[in-house]
A and B are shown apart, each in its own frame.
Chain A
């Protein structure tokens, strides 16, 4: 806290904060205004004859779409499932990696590598080289062991997407949790052990609470990115079968780049903005409070 008065500090910090706020404001408002404008118009790139005001038609067709609730649920399920997987696996891995073992540095490099891989590339690897039910590696292993191969994208489409994206985000969760854990005071741990606490007790009562803050950060950061998952769906299932793996970004993509219906895509975009702000209000605020911002 600055010792001097609030007004004085506001004057000083303004020029420092203004550039960030300014550019983001432009970046947000200009496309937003255009999106809002388009969402009330009849505007299809492929049909220049179609012009004029659509009134609420774009929204009406969107809301009436019987698939919309399912798509919103899928959007949220993807986020929650991946959060759960990456954070719980990340916590365990962080504790394991924190114990110090031979070759730890190299093992850590292997752990974090997926984070550097482009989403399109990782989706392509998983789809064609690993999960393919005939010539993929998993199918080969399953058959080698005498089982029938799993038809990943047919029988478990949403789970397959969640597995792929979790693989991409586990390194990020792992890194942040490991860093948090490494800051844990050794003396505190020793004291607990001397008091007779077992490994499990140390894990649940000291290590996990110590990582709580890092977990909050992860929930927030990952949510931001996971709400926008697109490339992995595009490459693997194209939103299907049916609408099993269609989330909101993919729906907008279908409207904007398959139908080239800018009006309808913009209406979906406006809904996405509202959803984003609801999420921001609910989730981020509670977490930010925990982080005592």
Chain B
């Protein structure tokens, strides 16, 4: 195809125009509606999209919403077949579930120029259901450990390449200085299946626990859950910031960026901002390492991809496809790198990004992120066998509710309103009821 003839060295705009020339003739001009989250990478896409609009003659209506509202909005739309959107931004959690319902258009027929093999196999697999690719990845993330190099140096300590949770606890104890609002550890505490439970699931996994046994019987009253939750609560009470029960990704990132946290275990996508001198007060002090391990290595770090899919109710499938081929292409990544700098390109999707010397220079965390993403095994998230896929979630429709209810119990245990035993007992009861109601168990 033509875009191969365009040398990568060309300026961003010319490059985009060249690429677009290939997609332009495949579809006639139309107006498409795209629903997306308001994360910075998507906002960047919104800023660059006029290039695509100009080249193809199509027009885009943007619906940009915060994550939770977006999820509600697109779920009601697609499950009632209302057809308000032509492109949906969804996660690796929704993709297989919706694909299975045939709510999404299969994207198996992307042209060779798109170079599907450049997309990490683990990422593709996460977006595949019954042999069909139902969404293309925009960016992907895993989780790892951020820490403050300056504090470690001052204390004469070194962070191991693969830390253990017991070691993390030791460090956190040392660095906590409440009088100066410096906290040894920052972890998510805000209830929600995508908030505190995302982190806690990885902790339970590495403690050897699982959500369900092979017959879908809930396992929340088992020892691994108990140990993991007790560890989390002890650690947070002793070394965590106040108000941890309302801290999610954003709040912790803000705390870390303003120098209040010594260690933070969270999404790899948090790295970009922390290295940005304009937004982070610790830009030259932040370092990173793998996510800690407790008992088993399985599922100690998560996998998440933000992807874009086309609902079967769309009346502009061809145009929508052409947009996806642009916005998730190698050339788009290059375009972002050239216009806005390489630190902010959508990470974690393509091998070529991690071969690009500009990116590797701008993003010292790149290698770690790549390894973390490649080693996060969605299909074997736990030490014992499970009937589900997903590391920090369970890819069944009921999980949003289950995860959030359990997240509430965990938050209650964190603030001391419930004991660990009580929280897990109630969580087990609630999950059991939901699974019965949904017909998984009798």
Contact = CB atoms under 8 A, between A and B. Distances in A.
26 contacts: A44-B438, A45-B79, A46-B79, A66-B429, A134-B242, A134-B243, A134-B255, A151-B243, A153-B246, A154-B242, A154-B243, A238-B190, A238-B191, A238-B408, A240-B245, A242-B415, A242-B417, A242-B423, A257-B72, A257-B76, A258-B400, A258-B401, A260-B76, A260-B79, A260-B397, A260-B400
A126 B187 CA distance: 22
B439 interface: yes
A259 B401 CA distance: 5
Contacts of A237: 246
Contacts of B417: 241-242, 244
Contact of B254 (A48, A50, A66, A135): A135
A64 B217 CA distance: 20
A152 B101 contact: no
A241 B397 contact: no
Interface residues of B, number: 46
A188 interface: no
B397 A154 contact: no
Given A133-B243, A134-B242, A261 B408 contact: no
A246 B101 CA distance: 32
Contacts of A65: 430, 433
Nearest to A243: B408
A47 interface: yes
Q: DSSP majority for the A interface?
A: loop
Nearest to A239: B408
Interface of B: 72, 75-76, 79-80, 97, 101, 181, 190-192, 241-246, 251, 254-255, 258, 260, 397-398, 400-401, 404-405, 407-409, 411-412, 414-415, 417-418, 423, 426, 429-430, 433-434, 437-439
B250 to A, nearest CB: 9
B242 A133 contact: yes
4 smallest A-B Cβ distances: which pairs?
A242-B412, A259-B401, A133-B243, A46-B397
A135 B261 CA distance: 13
Interface of A: 44-48, 50, 57, 61, 64-66, 127, 132-135, 143, 149, 151-155, 157, 236-244, 246, 254-255, 257-261, 264
Contacts of B246: 127, 153-154, 236-237
A61 B437 contact: yes
B437 A57 contact: yes
Contacts of A132: 243, 251
B419 to A, nearest CB: 12
